[in-house]
Amino acid sequence: MQYLEDLAVGQESYFGRYEVTRDEVIEFARKYDPQPFHLSDEAAAKTHFGRLAASGWHTCAMTMAVIARRVVETEQAGLGSPGVDELRWLKPVYPGDTLHVHSKIVEIRPSRSKPEIGSFRSATTVTNQDGEAVLSFTSIVLIRRRPAD
């Protein structure tokens, strides 16, 4: 189990990859972001995207899928997150792209009011197969502290 005490400022992690498919881009858009450039090649061709592009919210969801799988696999003592800061969609994500999720811990702090938990801030960058950054954000993660023996 990984606890707050096992983390260090500057620690970097690679969470894994995600293959973006056309069917999933359209399915997500139909349900959650039905703008024409997320649903149709023809409509997207008339925009700055030039072709069918994933919703930024879909990019966030794909990123979360990669992070959550890794957190579960490594048995992190995580307690969820109160939110993210500085969310930026930097470049379009297209069907056929492969997303890679990286993070770096930028701050660690024990809770002053709840000694059994703490939090850390992590700068996350998602790149495509060409190494171009497509998404960035800073997350705040709540995590348990190591129990006393």
How many of the other CB atoms lie within 10 Å of CB of 109? 11
What average pLDDT does this structure show over 14-37?
Answer: 97
Report yes or no on 85 lying in a domain: yes
**pLDDT average, residue stretch 114-119:** 95
In DSSP terms, 137 is beta-bridged to 124
Percent residues over pLDDT 90 in the chain: 92
Residue whose C-alpha is closest to residue 24's, from 61, 67, 50 = 61
In a domain, 88, yes or no: yes
Residue 149 lies in a domain: no
13 assigned to some structural domain? yes
Q: How many domains does the chain have?
A: 1
Do the domain assignments include residue 25? yes
CATH code (residue 136): 3.10.129.10
SS (H, E, C) the chain: CECHHHCCCCCEEEEEEEECCHHHHHHHHHHHCCCHHHHCHHHHHCCCCCCCCCCHHHHHHHHHHHHHHHHHHHCECECCCCEEEEEEECCCCCCCCEEEEEEEEEEEEECCCCCCEEEEEEEEEEECCCCCEEEEEEEEEEEECCCCC
Residue 94 lies in a domain: yes
pLDDT in tens, 32-82: 999 999 999 999 999 999 999 999 999 999 999 999 999 888 888 999 999
Q: Which domain holds residue 71?
A: 4-144
Tell whether 127 is covered by a domain: yes
Per-residue tokens: 50: 């030039």
